[in-house]
Homo-oligomer: A and B are copies of this chain.
Amino acid sequence: MEKKLTVDVCLSPYLYPVYHKEDQIVVIIDILRATSAMCTAFEHGVEKMIPVATVEEAQEYKKQGFMVGAERNGIALDGFDFGNSPYSYMTEQIKGQTIVISTTNGTQAIEAARNAYQVVIGAFTNITALCNWLVLQNRNVILLCSGWKNRFNLEDSLFAGAVTERLLKTNLFRTGDAALAVASLFEKAQQHPATFLHNSSHAERLAAMGLKEDIKYCLSLDKTKMIPVLEGKYLVKLV
């Protein structure tokens, strides 16, 4: 029997050291909303993004004249150009630009996985492009859920389940236990993901902030074929 590749899921950036191996592709997942927003930004012509973990680093770049997106606890921070709503990146203004971004969870996950063989950005909005690319790489895959302040969250796990299901269909991959669990979760939720996520703590948080349109957008499939990939300190588009 041919040796299969492995797809597994790391359910928190805090857990990443336990899942790290030198030769894996890591997919960063922060569905509500950082990785969804990143995909949107590249679709709308951004040249590069610089993900940074702290607000201090974001401020430093702002002083240097960069356009900067900064969000904490679901709220765009004062003094910056963007938060992490995908809608705020749907503008001509970003075309050809380098944008710095710092968010509550997603940019922390990028930081955790920085030394992986390759780090790419995943979201429902680029899922088909992402999965088509992953199956061509002949490498083990770790789906890294950003979660909420290092805790498990439902929407990132659901997306990890969706990707796992697609990779399993190719018959090239076998799963770790976590991937098996989230695939089962996705199978159950897929008919009505929005309803399923109604009980998610963060969807609840965003809905209370009047961000239902953002949630709807972040759960919609294949808005772009862009796959942002980490190169040094930059996210660039995969070519």
Contacts and interface: CB of A to CB of B under 8 A. Distances in A.
Interface string A1-42: 000000001011011011100000000000000000000000
A21 to B, nearest CB: 12
Interface stretch (A52-60, A128-136, A147-155, A210-218): A147-155
Contact of A177 (B19, B175, B187, B200): B200
Nearest to A9: B152
Contacts of A184: 185, 188-189
A199 interface: yes
Interface of A: 9, 11-12, 14-15, 17-19, 148-154, 157, 175-178, 180-182, 184-185, 187-189, 199-202
A149 B153 CA distance: 22
Contacts of A150: 15, 18
B151 A19 contact: yes
A102 to B, nearest CB: 20
A11 B152 contact: yes
Contacts of A200: 177, 180
24 contacts: A12-B15, A14-B15, A15-B15, A15-B150, A18-B149, A18-B150, A19-B151, A151-B177, A152-B177, A152-B181, A153-B177, A154-B180, A154-B181, A157-B177, A157-B181, A176-B201, A177-B201, A177-B202, A180-B199, A180-B200, A181-B182, A181-B185, A184-B185, A184-B189
Contacts of A201: 176-177
Given A152-B181, A154-B180, A181-B182, 6 more contacts: A18-B151, A153-B177, A154-B181, A175-B199, A187-B188, A188-B188
Contacts of A157: 177, 181
A109 B12 CA distance: 18
Nearest to A153: B177
Contacts of A153: 177
Nearest to A19: B151
